[in-house]
Chain A
Amino acid sequence: GAVVSQHPSWVICKSGTSVKIECRSLDFQATTMFWYRQFPKQSLMLMATSNEGSKATYEQGVEKDKFLINHASLTLSTLTVTSAHPEDSSFYICSAIRAASGMLDTQYFGPGTRLTVL
């Protein structure tokens, strides 16, 4: 168990458009989901922490109006990149924590979404 999916796996869009990325916990409930951004051969950079039913907590330097996060249910969080620009091109990864555990170190990662903005 503990499978996390992301959709889409790869998206190409024009500059100025908005893109929505979904993160789903398929076989467990997740009270908390995390969104990360990653550049090639670099580590993951935490963008925001998403808690079900409440506003996301953004890391310093991450524009909340640019990266809209919604965690409407215990199995789904979405990241919307608004008015995307080429510098937003990156690999976006989500992770989820089981509702039962509440332990930070039991994160289950999605397969990632590659965003390319032309």
Chain B
Amino acid sequence: TQLLEQSPQFLSIQEGENLTVYCNSSSVFSSLQWYRQEPGEGPVLLVTVVTGGEVKKLKRLTFQFGDARKDSSLHITAAQPGDTGLYLCAGNTGNQFYFGTGTSLTVIP
């Protein structure tokens, strides 16, 4: 059983479309991170959120941490082929660090 469930698992969209990836759990996290990973490479940290309800923006990417600190979302506006990759959320309970199930995004030119 995965502590952090991501949806959707796979997503294929046309360039210019918007999308949202969800990361859900029944556990409370002291912080939550989002990573992007390209094939054959390690994950690269995109953002860390720590406060319930927090919203962070990174260019066309918007990250939100749920009020109860149990879930998070990643919204991409006007997706580009360069956004293609595996998106991973990861939560820190203070004692443990858990990765989400992952969302594989393909943006078609």
Which residue numbers of A lie inside 8 Å of B, CB to CB?
4, 6, 34, 41-46, 91, 93, 95, 104-105, 107, 109-112, 114
Contacts and interface: CB of A to CB of B under 8 A. Distances in A.
A105 to B, nearest CB: 4
Contact of B97 (A93, A105, A110, A112): A105
A105 B95 CA distance: 10
A44, A93, A114: most-surrounded residue (chain B CB, <10 A): A44
A6 B108 CA distance: 32
A105 B102 contact: no
Contact of A93 (B33, B42, B100): B42
B92 interface: yes
Nearest to B10: A41
Contacts of A91: 40
23 contacts: A6-B42, A34-B97, A41-B10, A41-B86, A41-B104, A42-B101, A42-B102, A43-B86, A43-B99, A43-B101, A45-B99, A91-B40, A93-B42, A104-B92, A104-B97, A105-B31, A105-B48, A105-B90, A109-B42, A109-B43, A111-B41, A112-B42, A114-B40
Contacts of B86: 41, 43
A104 B94 CA distance: 7
Given A105-B33, A111-B42, A41 B97 contact: no
B43, B95, B96, B101: most-surrounded residue (chain A CB, <10 A): B43
